[in-house]
């Protein structure tokens, strides 16, 4: 890996401001999904290390919380600046361990940095209230105080942004964290920690526990009473485990879980805008985002034209190693992900779906998959119920608005939905009827630090980003003063 600053490539865990090995010296390999080659071996920590990290985080959090918000904001701003200054190196690290094209990695880094910047600003605007008292001899106030030390567990698909979206609001609020990154992508997390240290985030405030025994690390975080909040992004299945494990210590939870996003295109849509939106929503990160369109519902009148044009555009996607110039789509993260995508495509074809383009492993081999467009999809197929997490656009046909809304809502998930129409009444009607935390209208990309991100139903709890994001890391204390 050719980095301008090789010291950003770290292989030890980061606890209490120090780079540490596992006590027993264990390591695990991090591999490049584009070619399967070992990049580096990283410290494989266990549950005991989680306890050490919490031991460090508890006193560190107290002094961090006592640091003026203005100082915390300045440190976060420095961290943001360092992330931006080191974009090229961070992008190489991210692409090498995760596979997405360099341009997408750079986009993710800018997106991740925007949360650090935003929440640094928000740190200075945490305000309690003074309320009108119902009694003449009382005065009523609220303080907003940091919740304490929080545990964070993040996925591989956005190895920088998912960390920034959790750690930045937490640190801005005056909390400290113990974070476990995904096993496939620890290097981005460690590089972020290196830059956080350079920015002046004190020892113990941000701890990174790398390791492959996720169940044991997760359990240790959940079981410890000193962890007052868990924030998690990943599958619904693991989110449920963490919620169960946190019940005995009654922790506050933020869960960003799986999705099964519908994308609705009505006859009255601007077709160019809808195709563009579907391409962006479907193929970003090779379809491996929780908000990627998973089910594309297109109304009768434009179904054939939409499918034909989407297939033409999909066939033109340049698949390859994310480090190479001009590549639009990298490999899938691993064999498990690849097999799931293949199984969903095979299942759909066996039940009557037609392949307009793609439909199989890409000639690059490994976990590369062809951008795929399937028509004649129906609700008996796996793709209707489960998140595919791959570059497969399955197109379902509908006749009227009611039918489309019913199908879109017919899922346990409720993260993001997309809607394409030029009819203002329909825009409001359908946006209100969709049981989702996010509705994107006439666009395939909606995410920024300013809008609240999060789901309903089995897609999770809480919101990240926006003016609401910092509240997840604050407790409201009511102070009643007799005078
Ligand atoms: P995952 O298997 O749930 O893994 C996510 C994280 O949880 C990883 O760090 C993983 O560690 C850890 N983990 C696994 N089992 C655990 C356990 N028993 N206890 C504690 N931690 C555990 O999810 P994934 O397949 O990596 O990520 C894809 C999923 O994330 C998709 O469902 C996607 O929709 C969702 N996602 C949601 C959002 C959102 O904002 N809603 C954003 C991105 C992704 P290891 O890596 O070591 O196994």
Tell me the DSSP string of 225-276: TTEEEEEEES-HHHHHHHHHHHGGGT-EEEEE----EEEEE-TTS-HHHHHH
Closest listed residue to residue 31, CA positions, set 159, 186, 180, 210:
186
What per-residue confidence (pLDDT) applies to 141? 98
Judge whether 290 counts as a catalytic residue.
yes
Query: Boundaries of CATH 3.40.605.10 in the chain?
Result: 6-258+459-482
Name residues contacting ligand 1 (CB within 6 A): 153-157, 180, 182-183, 212, 214-215, 218, 233-235, 238, 241-242, 256-259, 290, 387, 415, 455, 460
Distance CA(310)–CA(373), nearest Å, equals 7
pLDDT(433) > 90: yes
Closest listed residue to residue 397, CA positions, set 427, 353, 445:
353
Q: Which region, left, alpha or beta, applies to residue 269 given φ > 0 means left and ψ of -120 to 50 means alpha?
A: beta
- CA 62, distance to chain mean position in Å, is 28
Q: Whose alpha carbon is nearest atom 13 of ligand 1?
A: 214
Q: Which atom of ligand 1 is nearest to the CA of 153?
A: 9
Burial 445-470 (b: 16+ CB within 10 A, else e): ebbebeeebbbebbbbbbbbbbeebb
Closest listed residue to residue 334, CA positions, set 290, 289, 373, 288:
288
CA 66 vs CA 61, 123, 258, 301, 411: distances in Å? 8, 13, 37, 62, 45
Give me the mean pLDDT over the 263-273 stretch. 98
Is residue 475 within 8 A of residue 142, CB to CB? The reply is: no
pLDDT(96) > 90: yes
Tell me the CATH architecture of domain 261-412+416-448.
Answer: 3-Layer(aba) Sandwich (3.40)
Catalytic residue among 175, 177, 290, 292: 290
Closest listed residue to residue 444, CA positions, set 310, 301, 304, 254:
310
Give me the mean pLDDT over the 435-461 stretch. 98
Query: Boundaries of CATH 3.40.309.10 in the chain?
Result: 261-412+416-448
Closest listed residue to residue 434, CA positions, set 424, 426, 423:
426
User: What tokens does 450 get?
Assistant: 């300013």
Over its C-alpha atoms, the chain yields an Rg (Å, rounded) of: 23
Is residue 65 within 8 A of residue 172, CB to CB? The reply is: no
Q: What percent of the chain has pLDDT over 90?
A: 100
Q: Which atom of ligand 1 is nearest to the CA of 459?
A: 41
Distance CA(59)–CA(203), nearest Å, equals 10
Distance CA(457)–CA(84), nearest Å, equals 35
Q: Which atom of ligand 1 is nearest to the CA of 245?
A: 19
Residue indicated by tokens 């799931």: 340
Residue pLDDT, tens place only, 230-260: 999 999 999 999 999 999 999 999 999 999 9
Give me the mean pLDDT over the 385-403 stretch. 98
Distance CA(378)–CA(419), nearest Å, equals 19
Catalytic residue among 108, 122, 194, 256: 256
Distance CA(116)–CA(122), nearest Å, equals 10
- At 1, is the pLDDT very low, low, confident or very high (cuts 50, 70, 90)? confident
* CATH no., domain 6-258+459-482: 3.40.605.10
User: What tokens does 360 get?
Assistant: 């199989």
Burial 271-301 (b: 16+ CB within 10 A, else e): eeebbbbbbbbbbbbbbbbbbbbbbbbbbee
Distance CA(233)–CA(187), nearest Å, equals 18
What per-residue confidence (pLDDT) applies to 270? 98
Distance CA(121)–CA(118), nearest Å, equals 5
Give me the mean pLDDT over the 284-291 stretch. 98
Residue pLDDT, tens place only, 186-226: 999 999 999 999 999 999 999 999 999 999 999 999 999 99
Distance CA(267)–CA(265), nearest Å, equals 7
What per-residue confidence (pLDDT) applies to 29? 98
Burial of 326 (0-12, 13-18, 19+ CB in 10 A): exposed
What per-residue confidence (pLDDT) applies to 158? 98
Q: Which residues pair with 15 in a beta bridge?
A: 18
What per-residue confidence (pLDDT) applies to 362? 97
List of residues 6+ apart from 238 with CB closer than 8 A: 153, 214, 218, 232
Judge whether 480 counts as a catalytic residue.
no
pLDDT(456) > 90: yes
What per-residue confidence (pLDDT) applies to 322? 97
What per-residue confidence (pLDDT) applies to 300? 98
User: What tokens does 265 get?
Assistant: 């295109």
């Amino acid at each position: 890996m050719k980095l301008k600053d090789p010291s950003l490539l770290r292989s030890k865990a980061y606890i209490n401001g120090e780079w540490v090995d596992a006590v027993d010296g264990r390591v695990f390999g991090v591999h490049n999904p584009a070619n399967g080659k070992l990049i580096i071996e990283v410290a494989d920590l266990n549950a005991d290390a989680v306890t050490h990290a919490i031991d460090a985080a508890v006193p560190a959090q107290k002094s961090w919380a006592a640091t003026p918000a203005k100082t915390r904001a300045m440190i976060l701003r420095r961290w943001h600046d360092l992330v931006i200054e080191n974009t090229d190196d961070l992008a190489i690290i991210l692409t090498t361990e995760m596979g997405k094209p360099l341009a997408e990695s750079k986009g993710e880094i800018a997106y991740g940095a925007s949360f650090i910047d935003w929440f640094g600003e928000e740190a200075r605007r945490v305000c309690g209230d003074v309320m009108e008292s119902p009694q003449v001899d009382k005065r009523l106030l609220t303080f907003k105080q940091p919740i304490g030390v929080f545990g964070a567990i993040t996925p591989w698909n956005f190895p920088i942004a998912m960390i920034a979206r959790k750690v930045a609001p937490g640190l801005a609020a005056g909390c400290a964290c113990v974070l476990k990154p995904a096993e496939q992508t620890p290097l981005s997390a460690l590089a972020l920690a290196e830059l956080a240290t350079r920015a002046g985030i004190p020892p113990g405030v941000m701890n990174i526990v790398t390791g492959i025994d996720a169940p044991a690390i997760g359990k240790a975080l959940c079981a410890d009473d000193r962890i007052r909040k868990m924030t998690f992004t990943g599958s619904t299945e693991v989110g449920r485990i963490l919620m169960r494990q946190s019940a005995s210590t009654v922790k506050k939870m933020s869960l960003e879980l799986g999705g099964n996003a519908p994308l609705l295109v009505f006859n009255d849509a601007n077709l160019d805008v809808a195709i563009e939106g579907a391409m962006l929503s479907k193929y970003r990160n090779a379809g491996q985002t929780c908000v990627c369109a998973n089910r594309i519902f297109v109304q009768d009148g434009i179904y054939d034209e939409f499918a034909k044009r989407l297939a033409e555009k999909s066939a033109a996607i340049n698949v390859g190693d994310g480090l190479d110039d001009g590549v639009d789509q990298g490999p899938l993260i691993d064999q498990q992900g690849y097999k799931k995508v293949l199984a969903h495509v095979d299942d759909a074809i066996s039940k009557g779906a037609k392949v307009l383009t793609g439909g199989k492993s890409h000639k690059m081999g490994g976990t590369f998959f062809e951008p795929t467009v399937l028509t004649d999809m129906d609700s008996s197929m796996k793709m209707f119920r489960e998140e595919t997490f791959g570059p497969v656009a399955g197109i379902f046909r509908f006749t009227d608005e009611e039918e489309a809304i019913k199908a879109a809502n017919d899922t346990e998930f409720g993260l993001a939905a997309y809607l394409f129409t030029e009819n203002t009444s329909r825009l409001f009607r359908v946006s209100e009827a969709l049981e989702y935390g996010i509705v994107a209208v006439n666009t395939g990309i909606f995410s920024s630090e300013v809008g609240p991100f999060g789901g309903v139903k089995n897609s999770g709890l809480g919101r990240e980003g926006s003016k609401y994001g910092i509240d997840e890391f604050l407790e409201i204390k009511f102070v009643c003063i007799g005078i």
